[in-house]
């Protein structure tokens, strides 16, 4: 999934992510990493609401993976910066809860 994402093939990355049984992954940090990649893929497809929803799920599983990783914080900022008005408020609230500056 990560390889497809790195090559810019967000659709394939999302397809692979849908095939992963998240509950079968034994470590929450692994689950969160998969969700972060999935969130990035949805953002690449301009599906900001899904990207934010999945990002929040990753944060619930492993908060340190969001607040402690520069790549995750960039993702938060990217969602906030590019989200349509319909998603921007929720994105701002989530960003504020992480104490991330836009």
Domain boundaries, the chain: 2-98
Predicted local confidence at residue 100, as pLDDT: 56
Predicted local confidence at residue 2, as pLDDT: 86
Predicted local confidence at residue 96, as pLDDT: 83
Chunk the chain into consecutive blocks of 10 residues (it has 102) and report each block's average pLDDT, rounded to whole numbers: 92 95 93 95 96 95 86 90 92 80 48
Predicted local confidence at residue 94, as pLDDT: 86
- Number of neighbours of residue 4 by Cβ within 10 angstroms: 18
Give Dmax (Cα) for the chain.
Answer: 37
Contact between 1 and 22 (Cβ < 8 Å): no
Task: Determine the CATH number of domain 2-98.
Answer: 1.25.40
Predicted local confidence at residue 99, as pLDDT: 64
Predicted local confidence at residue 66, as pLDDT: 85
Contact between 31 and 19 (Cβ < 8 Å): no
């Amino acid at each position: 999934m990560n390889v497809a994402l790195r090559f810019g093939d967000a659709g394939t990355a999302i397809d692979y992510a849908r095939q992963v049984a998240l509950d079968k992954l034994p470590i929450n940090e692994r689950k969160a990493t998969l969700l972060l990649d999935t969130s990035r893929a949805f953002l690449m497809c301009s599906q900001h609401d899904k990207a934010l929803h999945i990002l929040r799920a990753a944060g619930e599983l492993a908060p340190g993976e969001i607040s402690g990783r520069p790549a995750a914080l960039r993702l938060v900022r990217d969602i906030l910066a590019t989200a349509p008005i319909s998603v921007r408020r929720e994105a701002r609230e989530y960003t504020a809860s992480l104490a991330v500056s836009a």
